A and B are shown apart, each in its own frame.
Chain A
């Protein structure tokens, strides 16, 4: 059916499109546009001085570095969790499956205080670790722990459906041709999971870069050492340094958009792999 014919029969395109564009503009686009608009009121020198300040650079490095390590940890352990949920049967599987989304459902402030309490030197998990000389709370390790929690569902939920949809005939064919199970996994299964695996990693990484609530409690917030970029934006705002906050935020926003584009590309690749 052609566009014109469809449009004659179904009503409401103009109205719903109008609502969509108006609401999107008022709630999202105009507010977001204030960020580059405010940055353009700064001189280039002031902008560059802000974002090249050693404390700001340290916060970018920390946010990116900790997010990368956390996403890598999730990529490894999240794959095992996704494989377990998709391929093995065990009692309570549905409950475990539902629980995976806890980091989406639990407010980040709650995650922040509970992880801090658990990993503090006197906490359930922190005390035994401290006896072995490992400090978690109020260090960079603590930041990574919080970001692993936040990013966990992204890797599992991206991989799990792809594992479930893998065609068993392909594995069977490889097996019947004499391939050992581990060889089948390595040469047949893993290559098919690669796009989804990278997508999950990128989603967890992107989310972790901007994360605030779960990190501020456990990080200790020491300038140059455990101060993440979103917290530095908050600090600048509390000092009424709007220009400084805007400059730091604009760099993060551009980074997020670059990642969004990369993720869209990865997802298109995943779809081609799964359906093609």
Chain B
């Protein structure tokens, strides 16, 4: 069970310290740009993991809330001044909370289904929201898209966005860690393991699932907000994009779903690779083939993802090591 350990604290401090230093050390715009998207996907994957990784309910609709977050920010700052340019970042938490509240009744209905049906229902949700974005013209301007006011950051334009993404990612990791080590986390895991039995031992399964869903949505919407502000233009097909969804899910599977660091590791492997194929092969969407290849590799070689597989490897090594006569080795829990 995770709790605050010096080791874990040091690991988090080093990782986030290095990530925070990156845009101040690296000045090439395109590198910071890749950094922004890497952090965004790491955040999306972690947020997805917070609900789907812990409960086992595969949601394919979180990208809908990413888009709603982006549109909320875009529409708001068409009416409100962005001030010196940092104001949108400050209202992100509000956007997260608002979108999360909106998501609860939707989730309540979707959560009446299970397993595959839930995946299909949430996928449908994604396309419904996309259709709404196309057709609610008075609000979203349809396929014309919404322009977001541009800030005039003096130097190094990408840096504030990078730091905002990093902030939301840190929040997502903190939320994942806290949930995992709390009673709520235990409830969610019991749902994943055997929901019927969990109901039979007094676990309030629906409430627990709704809370996790809302937390995941809040983080996803905040990332959507930063994304919309970063691109200046929000279109239905890019804001509510099944490929973004699939990317986040794939990264979580690659890194190890249900683990704390897995989704982030998956994103740090896949996003730079994706951006590289994108620049190398032009906008041919050849990277989609690369995606599919990664999926196949993950399924064949690492069906449980990088972190759990590494954990098993370490365990089996430890097992094989000659035991001292006074110590009987016993399998430890896999890394989480």
Say if A and B assemble together: no
List chain B positions with a Cβ less than 8 A from chain A.
none
